[in-house]
Structure 1
């Protein structure tokens, strides 16, 4: 167990911050609630960004950039939207040494300004659909910040689309939710639950919101990504009208969807341990590190480093990228060198000492299990990729089994409270309450409805809170 990391069983919040600090992922900025993402953390974000961006482009979306500042009047055009975001907004009232005629909002999200632009770009059904994504920073003034999970400024992507029909827009909303699920599952090894948000958890101004919910290792839920069917609400607010094939004017149907740097927090809290960061290989910027070891500088220069360079080239070719590093921290003891890569979550450590060199072998150590393996040089190009795939699958399976083991059922509020207090985790219930009921449950227990899972969409029963029949199956949990 690492001395510089508080055990998660002792203080989970401090453990989380210690892992970030030890891995040199982020630091606090001078402005309260903001963070600096350090190179290790940003490299992980670049990997996340790459996989999502590739998936967006495969589904026909293109990237664009919209302004950081939004006229305050724009937010007022959609009443529910402004009510939902007003408490979190940062407002610019002065610029250039003068007071502005109209205050400007530092974007908390971009539905309003993008709706304004779409109203200029859309005249005919031939102009639809519009499928645009933006990679950007946004600001939501956070009262209780936590690195990556909740910061006043954070990085994200926000997709915004406009369609001629409701059916197309709903299909788009669910298509992008599935893209989220696939990338989270296949690359981040997060076994997320897809479902629809309740009325009280719905995005302000949306007709319906869909979500991917993940369970962290402290059994709390984290909303990993959301996709919103906005209906015609923003189209009417911003006059996004088009002439249909019959010549009549109609309002477009719009969607929005987003994931953010909180996914890095999800990775930390799902996979990491008391020694530090653990990363799934497919999202790890450095998948393997080769560590040449010798007390003889001449042997390092003449034999070990050249062989390490040769192996790096072979492995990079096999893995399809620049993802293998060579550790040249020869001023440090081998144990300290090993530990530095362990704390940064490198999936595989490859040791190349004099004994390994003489035997034409490599000592390979897995980050997920600590298992040590000897692999012949001649087999490395095939064995290492296979081992990384095995680690990826193990991390996913481990997280999935944890979620399954910590998902419970409750049929009444009393049972709900008992399970939440004694076991925690996800609680499956039938629920048919209002948003006022959701608030009352939250105040009484601290838990909120995470979603109506698609996996249980056909199930109906008696609401655990109101007693109403024909209620849908829902997941409740305490959450981040």
Structure 2
């Protein structure tokens, strides 16, 4: 297969989304599948990891600005620790990988490869908290976790091992802990909408789908172009169950012993899957300039007699942009023609291309091309740094507007079982319906369409400004509706 053929995306985003997605991930140089015999694991390549670093930076900055400190805890958790919170054991037991030997010696106690870290972090929070003066306590760790449940690998969306951050906090009151929970949800929403150019819905998970042991699980949900939902991040108010299990107590101002209220919250590299799926197209990866490893590629176009002048001009532009902090690639390779370079950098998702040839040199100008839609404009060389930043804003706005249009056109209402099943089956997306709160009512939808309740909006939120359940019966039974449910198929 020639390089030109290898560069092209052969699958269709619209008609074979899964195959298209895997091809984009591979050909854009983001990841490879793991070794034979290790189904469910991937190798994250430098360009893929750079995207994760961009998300890390955006979140870490926000976390630290609100009092969070990073720490690191062992990846192996003694079984006795895990069992101290029975809901965690029951919730994750089928997915836990166990270490039973160290070298040739059988361990006295099995060690779990962390599926989540509440059970190893909470005991140490208990040691660190003694007085109300020690609260609030906020720690976060960046790490990987293992959940042995992936049957079909989809890089970044579904893998047995994945990267994430998990924050854990302790507070003196329910009010403070709930404020922490919503603060983190706000920050996740900001990163999706202001960094990844993906609009989200926010709310909470139904009681039967909340984090094991949690009082309330809140979530941001992103809709993919194929009509499936992605759980973008979750923030849990854990109540006092973990604090009671692990003895996280403090003495208040009256020297009375109190049980703390705790939270945990996390975002994984599933966000990268949502990023790739949302914006990319049949030409390859599409990235917003906020996270792109290369924000600008400069492609000089020359003939033999103009080569020196064009390259000198292109190098000057690259130096100016790098000096302003722009991530720039100057593609001055001799062995590739401009058309090949255009296609290659489009495949890799570079948001903005700058073309310079003899005409641009003579006119002291540049040609700017947007990756999302190929829009081309000419601009003066003078003031180019500001011009490039303006074009970054425009590219970002285009990506967000396209994703927003997809979301807004994919939220539909239903009032009975047939409507829910028919709408999801025909259109995908979200179906908003009145619900009685009983898990059993979800079963038929789940059995027939592999769809579920992904979100219950907060009362009075933008997702639920006029609660459709008031005065209505559940769309799935004859009982009184108590809340609104968003049904969808999901990744």
* TMscore range, shorter length: over 0.9
Cα distance in 2, alignment partners of residues 193 and 61 from structure 1: 25
Does 1:50 find its partner at 2:57?
A: yes
Q: What is the TM-score of this pair, normalised by structure 2? A: 0.94
1:476 is matched with: 487
Q: CA deviation at 1:9?
A: 2.2
CA contact (8 A) 1:199 1:434 kept: no
User: Alpha carbon RMSD of aligned pairs, Å?
Assistant: 1.6
2:276 is matched with: 268
CA contact (8 A) 1:224 1:262 kept: yes
Structure-to-structure mapping, 1:342-381, within 5 angstroms: 342-381=346-385
Structure-to-structure mapping, 1:17-96, within 5 angstroms: 17-30=22-35, 31-96=38-103
CA contact (8 A) 1:5 1:19 kept: no
Which region of structure 1 is more displaced relative to structure 2, 140-149 or 105-114?
140-149
1:123 is matched with: 130
CA contact (8 A) 2:58 2:191 kept: yes
- SS of match in other structure, 1:191: coil
Cα distance in 1, alignment partners of residues 147 and 386 from structure 2: 47
Q: CA deviation at 1:387?
A: 1.0
Does 1:412 find its partner at 2:419?
A: no
Q: CA deviation at 1:400?
A: 0.7
Cα distance in 1, alignment partners of residues 128 and 202 from structure 2: 33
Q: CA deviation at 1:434?
A: 2.0
Structure-to-structure mapping, 1:168-247, within 5 angstroms: 168-247=176-255
Structure-to-structure mapping, 1:273-352, within 5 angstroms: 273-296=281-304, 299-300=306-307, 302-318=308-324, 321-352=325-356
Cα distance in 2, alignment partners of residues 359 and 433 from structure 1: 67
Cα separation, partners in 2 of 1:405 and 1:396, compared to 1, 3 Å = same
Q: CA deviation at 1:408?
A: 0.8
- SS of match in other structure, 1:169: helix
- Once the two structures are superposed, residues 165-188 of structure 1 have per-residue CA deviations (whole angstroms, 9 ceiling, x without a partner) of 111001100010001101110110
CA contact (8 A) 1:184 1:192 kept: yes
Does 1:432 find its partner at 2:436?
A: yes
Which region of structure 1 is more displaced relative to structure 2, 138-147 or 36-45?
138-147
**Aligned length in residues:** 476
- Once the two structures are superposed, residues 304-343 of structure 1 have per-residue CA deviations (whole angstroms, 9 ceiling, x without a partner) of 333223212322344xx25112113221121111111101
CA contact (8 A) 1:228 1:257 kept: yes
Structure 1 residue runs without a partner (length 5+): none
- SS of match in other structure, 2:140: strand
1:450 is matched with: 454
Cα distance in 2, alignment partners of residues 440 and 249 from structure 1: 48
Q: CA deviation at 1:143?
A: 2.3
CA contact (8 A) 1:209 1:227 kept: yes
- Once the two structures are superposed, residues 380-408 of structure 1 have per-residue CA deviations (whole angstroms, 9 ceiling, x without a partner) of 22211101101101111110111111111
CA contact (8 A) 1:214 1:223 kept: yes
CA contact (8 A) 2:279 2:403 kept: yes
- SS of match in other structure, 1:378: coil
Q: CA deviation at 1:458?
A: 5.9
Q: CA deviation at 1:220?
A: 0.6
Q: CA deviation at 1:3?
A: 4.1
Structure 2 residue runs without a partner (length 5+): none
- Once the two structures are superposed, residues 67-122 of structure 1 have per-residue CA deviations (whole angstroms, 9 ceiling, x without a partner) of 11110111111111111111111100001320000010111111110001111111
Cα separation, partners in 2 of 1:154 and 1:290, compared to 1, 3 Å = same
Cα separation, partners in 2 of 1:258 and 1:457, compared to 1, 3 Å = farther
Which region of structure 1 is more displaced relative to structure 2, 389-398 or 453-462?
453-462
CA contact (8 A) 1:157 1:258 kept: yes
- SS of match in other structure, 2:222: strand
Does 1:109 find its partner at 2:116?
A: yes
Cα distance in 1, alignment partners of residues 443 and 85 from structure 2: 23
**Where in structure 1 do 4 or more consecutive aligned residues deviate above 6 Å?**
none
CA contact (8 A) 1:225 1:258 kept: yes
- SS of match in other structure, 2:382: helix
CA contact (8 A) 1:5 1:276 kept: no
Cα distance in 2, alignment partners of residues 407 and 275 from structure 1: 28
Cα distance in 2, alignment partners of residues 330 and 216 from structure 1: 40
Does 1:165 find its partner at 2:173?
A: yes
Does 1:133 find its partner at 2:140?
A: yes
Cα distance in 1, alignment partners of residues 13 and 423 from structure 2: 22
CA contact (8 A) 1:433 1:465 kept: no
Cα distance in 1, alignment partners of residues 127 and 306 from structure 2: 68
CA contact (8 A) 2:296 2:326 kept: no
